[in-house]
Amino acid sequence: MLEQLSFDALSTLTPSALLMVCIAFILTGRLIPVRTHERELAARDQQIVYLQSALNTCRETDERRTEQVSELMEHSRSTTAFFKSLSTDADQTEE
């Protein structure tokens, strides 16, 4: 688009028209330097890798926590059943 506009045409533009051209360049991404764009893409890619590894770590932690809770629930059920049987045995011996 810049190649299409000659310098003579730019000198005849009003300030509002020049502003509209600049806004069009911004919206189409032509005012961003290539190095800046590549740097931002690289930073985004690094953040994606970091977030994926963090998500995997959280999933592994959640799986381990679920296994531990399951084991603890088995023990608590056994203990509860044992104490209930003791209380029913004690009630039966008192009668």
Please state, in angstroms and as integers, the Cα–Cα distance from residue 83 to each residue in 73, 79, 80, 87, 89, following that order.
15, 6, 5, 6, 10
pTM over 0.85: no
Q: How confident is the model at residue 7 (pLDDT cuts 50, 70, 90)?
A: low
**Could you give the angle at the alpha carbon of 14 between the alpha carbons of 13 and 20, nearest 5°?**
85
Using one digit for the tens of pLDDT, what is the confidence trace for 21-44?
Answer: 888 888 887 788 888 889 999 999
For residue 1 the two structure tokens come to 């688009």
Q: Is residue 30 within 8 Å of residue 23, measured between CB atoms? A: no
Using one digit for the tens of pLDDT, what is the confidence trace for 67-90?
Answer: 999 999 998 998 888 888 887 766
Using one digit for the tens of pLDDT, what is the confidence trace for 57-69?
Answer: 999 999 999 999 9
Please state, in angstroms and as integers, the Cα–Cα distance from residue 27 to each residue in 15, 20, 21, 24, following that order.
18, 10, 10, 5
Helices (H), the chain: 7-11, 15-28, 34-94
Rounded Cα gap, residues 25 and 15, in angstroms: 15
